[in-house]
Amino acid sequence: MPAISPFVTEVDFASGDLSAPDYIIQRKLSDMAAMYADAGEAARILAEEGDRLIYEVQGMELPAEEGQIPHCTTRILPGRIGDEYHMTKGHYHARREQGEVYFGLSGRGCLVMQTEAGETSVQEMVAGSAAYVPPYWAHRTVNVGDEDFVFFSVWEARAGHDYGTIERDGFRKLVLLRDGGPAVVDNAKYA
C-alpha cells in the first residue's frame, strides 16, 4: 500500500521558502570554512566579523525507497570569501548512478560539476534554467550575482549524499571574482 498521499507545496521563487517544509537546513561559514580556497580569509571573517549564513535548504522528506522523488529549494546568499563566491558544500550521490535536475527560480548562479574520471563542466543558471546533473557527476552551486540565487532540486530517494569525497579532495574548478566578474579557474589545491 502506498504510504505517501499526493501533496502540493507552494514555492516562493524569490526566497525559496516552502509553504510547509519538512526540514530546513542552514549551512554557515563555520560549517564549511575549510572548503574555501582562502582558508586564512575564512578564519579571519569568523574571528573578526563572526559567522555568516551561506545557504539554506528547505525540503520535503520522503522515504529512501525506490520510486520516491524528494525535492527541495536551495537559497545561496550573495557574497564572497576572499575572491571565492558563496557556494554549497557539493557532493557526489552515494549511489553514483543517480542523476538530478535543478531548476533556477531567481538570481544568478553557476553549477560546477565533475566526474571521478576527471571531466569537468561549469554551467550558468538563471531563473528558468533547467539543469541536468547526469549520473556520476558531483555537483556544487555557486551564487555569482548580487542577490540570492535560488533553485529547485529533484532527485531519486535512494541517491544518498557522499560529502566526504569532496570534503577531502575539493572540486577541480573554482568560481572566483576576476576583473569584476566570475571566472572559472583551476583549483591548485585539488587533491
Among positions 75, 80, 91, 173, the unique one binding ligand S6P when judged by CB under 6 A: 91
Site for Zn ion in 168-187 (CB under 5 A): none
CB atoms within 10 A of CB 173: 20
User: Least separation, in Å, of the C-beta of 147 and Zn ion?
Assistant: 23
Distance CA 113, CA 177 (A): 19
Site for ligand S6P in 141-180 (CB under 6 A): 141, 153, 155, 161
Q: Is 90 in the site for ligand S6P (CB under 6 A)?
A: yes
Q: Is 72 in the site for ligand S6P (CB under 6 A)?
A: yes
Site for ligand S6P in 111-140 (CB under 6 A): 139
Q: What is the largest CA-CA distance in the chain?
A: 58
Bridge-based pairing of strands 149-155 and 71-76 is: antiparallel
CA angle, 49 then 51 then 54, to 5°: 120
Nearest residue relative to Zn ion (C-beta): 100
Binding site for Zn ion (CB under 5 A): 100
